[in-house]
Amino acid sequence: MLVALALGTVSCVRPRNDERVVIYSVPGVSGPDCGKELLRVLSRVDGVVKTEGELDVVIDTTNRTVSVKYNSRVTAQKNIEHAIAAGGFDVEDTPANPTAKAKLPAPCQSS
């Protein structure tokens, strides 16, 4: 007796994007000039989502926070946090790069 066994293949398709939102506390983002500097920093981070050519970022200068939409298949939360710190801003528990911080407009240097 001959038994035939057919095995099918299972395909696992991963979505190309796994978009998430993270909110950081950024004490130095105290006004529009600081917001522009922070946008400049975030524009260089691969994985931060752009919608219609604009970064999908919300900067709240009143509460001194930034909300960032990112693709977790391209970058991680910590990478974004470290990029913000490298750009001269204290973020969460990560201190700013002192050299970069010294180059920011004076109002952005406060923590």
15-48 per-position pLDDT tens digit: 677 899 999 999 999 999 999 999 999 999 999 9
The pTM score is 0.83
* Residue with the two structure tokens 């522009």: 36
pLDDT in tens, 54-86: 999 999 999 999 999 999 999 999 999 999 999
Cβ neighbours for 67, distance < 8 A, ≥ 6 positions apart: 21, 22, 23, 57, 58, 59, 60
DSSP string, 77-104: HHHHHHHHHHTT--BTTBPPPHHHHHHS
